[in-house]
Amino acid sequence: MPKHPSPQRVKRHQIYTVWEAAEAVGVHRQTVIRWIKDKGLSADTSQRPWLIEGREFKAFLEERRVRGKCRLLPGQIFCLPCRSPKNPEGRIAEFHLKTSTTGALIGICPDCGRLMHRFVGRADLDQIRAQLDVTISKAVPRLVEPDEPNETVTLKQEARTHGKAQRQ
């Protein structure tokens, strides 16, 4: 289920029940009820079924989505455990090249001491290096060919029988 349901799936001029609203954005109906009770989604709760105007529902989802986004400055990396953007400890970070145009910027959170990761383009690296002391390293390949084949591997095929052994 999506963390931030898309407001594009809601029709502005339609009126939704709780069940229809949940189905439209792909969340559980209890989630929509919780949004109405706790999070400020306006609905007509004077009678059953509760009715939600599409215009209000769409605005609520768009506002939730905007509130959840966080714009990072060039020298910042988002720390997931702290849930906030931070400058790495000592303003030191490493850049691991992943593809020819992108890589991972890795730093240590000054508050919790955990690793923080941010994927950035090589084009943005100069702007980031103005803020941080960045060490660039080439990525280690994931698969490495051995110099010589493994000795336990036999290269001849053995006859295989599937199923039960046949009696003669």
Peptide bond into 88 cis (omega under 30): no
Q: Which of 3-7, 18-22, 46-50, 132-136 has the lowest mean pLDDT?
A: 3-7
Residue 1 in this model has a pLDDT that exceeds 60: no
Do 48 and 81 reside in the same domain of the chain?
no
Residue 85: inside a domain: yes
Residue-level pLDDT at 124: 87
Contact 113, 73 (CB under 8 A): no
| Residue 40 or 163, more confident | 40
Answer whether residue 64 is part of any domain.
Answer: yes
Domain that holds residue 11: 7-68
* Domains in the chain, number: 2
Total H helices, total E strands in the chain: 4, 8
Residues 10-39: tens digit of each pLDDT:
899 999 999 999 999 999 999 999 999 988
Structure confidence at residue 54 (pLDDT): 93
Q: Is the pLDDT of residue 53 over 60?
A: yes
Q: CA torsion sign, 126 to 132 to 137 to 141?
A: negative
Query: For residue 100, which of 47, 138, 151, 153 has the smallest C-alpha distance?
Result: 138
Q: DSSP secondary structure string, 31-43?
A: HHHHIIIII----
168 found inside a domain: no
Mean pLDDT over 90-95 rounds to: 91
For residue 57, what is the domain's CATH number?
A: 1.10.10
pLDDT band at residue 67, thresholds of 50, 70 and 90?
A: confident
Residue 22 CA to residue 33 CA, distance in Å, equals 9
Q: For residue 57, what pLDDT is reported? A: 93
The pLDDT value recorded for residue 166 is 58
